[in-house]
Amino acid sequence: MYEPASKISGTEAVFAHLMANEYEHPAVAAFKTLATDAKFDRAELTITVAAENIVAAAEAAKAAGYNFLEDVTCLDWYPSEPRFRVTYHILSHKLKSRLRLGVELGSDAASLDSITGVWPSANFYEREVFDLFGVHFNGHPNLVRIMMPEDWNGHPLRKDYPVEGYR
């Protein structure tokens, strides 16, 4: 069974754990200055960065060998603040490992820069997050709804949106 004590949190502790091997872990070198928080839980590495640094973080991850953007999605922690957490899952074909980038956004500033300039595949994922959560991506080439009809009101995956919809 899962042991909560096995979770490592905090940037310094996680980076120290990753550096325990002889070689320098590529993620540590890339995120030394960018990371605001980090977590190593269930053998998965999560690094949190500030919203304004997301494009720099994506470029740093790409330069470190994490070459394949797998997924972009969002969590809504309503009613607590910061409300949204946009997560990026990035895979490295060379290192055979995965990295999760997280960005926390308050409900009054639910916008961040688009990473379509780094990975064109972010296009549909970011449109999906915009459609279902209402998070804006600045600089996205075509930020329109993708799943819901264009004239739909509200963002269905927000926690304050009822499961059965508004009747």
Partner 1 sequence: MATATPIKDQITPGIDDVVADALKHGNANGGKDHTMVLNMGPQHPSTHGVLRLVIEIDGETVVALAPDIGYLHTGIEKTCEAKFFQQVVPLTDRIDYLSPMTNNLCYCLAVEKLLGLEIPERAQYMRVLLNELTRISSHLVWLGTHAMDIGALTVFLYCWREREDISRIYENVSGQRMMSSYFRIGGLSLEPPLDFFKQVQDFLNKMPAAIDQYENLLTGNPIWMSRLKGVGYLSAEDAIALGVTGPPLRASGVDWDLRRDMPYSGYEKFKFDVPVSTDGDVWARYVVRIQEMRESVKICQQALDGMPSGPIVADAPKIILPNREQMKTQMESLIHHFKIVTEGFAVPAGEVFQAVESPRGEMGYYVVSDGTAKPFRVHMRNPSFATLQALETMCKGRLIADVVSVIGSIDIVLGEIDR
Considering only residues 63, 78, 93, 160, which one is a binding residue for partner 1 as defined by CB under 8 A? 93
C-beta of 122: minimal distance to partner 1 in Å?
8
C-beta of 61: minimal distance to partner 1 in Å?
14
Q: Assign 3-state DSSP to the chain and report helix, strand, coil percentages, each to 5.
A: 25, 30, 45
The yes or no reply on residue 18 touching partner 1 (CB under 8 A) is no
Considering only residues 120, 139, 154, 160, which one is a binding residue for partner 1 as defined by CB under 8 A? 120
C-beta of 141: minimal distance to partner 1 in Å?
5
Considering only residues 59, 70, 82, 107, which one is a binding residue for partner 1 as defined by CB under 8 A? 70
Q: How many binding residues for partner 1 (CB under 8 A)?
A: 44
Considering only residues 28, 83, 123, 126, which one is a binding residue for partner 1 as defined by CB under 8 A? 123
Assess contact for 48 and 35: CB atoms under 8 A.
yes
What's the Cα-to-Cα distance from 156 to each of 6, 31, 75, 137, rounded to whole Å? 35, 34, 12, 18
The yes or no reply on residue 116 touching partner 1 (CB under 8 A) is yes
- Per-residue burial over 73-108, b = 16 or more CB atoms within 10 Å of its CB, e = otherwise: ebebeeeeeebbbbbbbbebeeeebbbbbbbbbebe
C-beta of 20: minimal distance to partner 1 in Å?
21
**Type of residue numbered 20:** A
Helices (runs of H) and strands (runs of E) counted in the chain: 4, 8
The enclosing H or E element of 11 equals helix 11-18
Question: Any idea what DSSP says for residue 129?
Answer: H
Q: Which residues bind partner 1 (CB under 8 A)?
A: 1-4, 7, 41-42, 44, 46, 67-71, 73, 75, 87, 89, 91, 93, 96, 98, 100, 116-117, 119-121, 123-125, 132, 141-142, 144-149, 156-157, 161, 163
